[in-house]
């Protein structure tokens, strides 16, 4: 269906661009989570005045999410089916609202950078997963 609107070459270029963007997003997530876990406020203001259990919750959450993203990507690559990335993308987008709710419940301000990161990762997962599923279905139709 989409092939009717785009020629084969432009569809290949869009697929390549989404693949490059997705890989860059995963690498960026890894770098951001490692730098944030080290205590740096380069990307996020993690409210260093917090103490006790809330002091490292956001950093730890980002590490867990990074491991989950990397695991999902490795699993999809292993089985050569990328539909799972569409669900992961939806999860990242929904996480934007969840992090705001977390801040409201715990009465702590949440850096807006988290929402931007989650949106970028969500859209990257959705685009890459969608194009990989689309490419796979096109090859299936040709055979």
pLDDT of residue 6: 60
Does residue 24 contact residue 125 with C-beta atoms inside 8 Å?
no
User: How far, in Å, CA of 24 to CA of 120, rounded?
Assistant: 11
pLDDT of residue 93: 95
3-state per-residue secondary structure call for 73-125: HHHHHHHCCCHHHHHHHHHHHHHHHHHHHHHHHHCCCCCHHHHHHHHHHHHHH
This model's pTM is above 0.85: no
pLDDT, tens digit, 9 for 90 and up, residues 25-74:
999 999 999 988 877 776 777 655 555 566 677 888 889 999 999 999 99
Mean pLDDT of 15-29: 93
Domain ranges of the chain: 10-40+51-142
Please choose, from the candidates 121, 141, 103, 116, the residue with its C-alpha nearest in 3D space to the C-alpha of residue 8: 141
Six-digit token string for 58: 């956001």
CA 107 to chain CA mean position, Å: 26
């Amino acid at each position: 269906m989409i092939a009717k609107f785009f020629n084969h070459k432009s569809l290949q270029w869009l697929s390549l661009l989404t693949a490059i963007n997705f890989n860059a997003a995963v690498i960026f997530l890894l770098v951001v989570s490692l730098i944030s876990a080290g205590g740096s406020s380069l990307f996020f203001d993690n409210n260093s005045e917090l103490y006790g259990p809330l002091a490292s919750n956001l950093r730890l959450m980002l590490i867990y999410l990074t491991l989950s993203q990397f695991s999902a990507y490795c699993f999809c690559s292993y089985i050569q089916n990328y539909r799972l990335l569409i669900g992961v993308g939806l999860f990242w987008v929904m996480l934007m609202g969840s992090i705001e709710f977390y801040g409201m419940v715990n009465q702590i301000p949440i850096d807006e950078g988290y929402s931007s990161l989650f949106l970028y990762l969500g859209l990257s997962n959705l685009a890459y997963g969608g194009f990989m599923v689309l490419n796979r279905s096109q090859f299936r139709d040709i055979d």
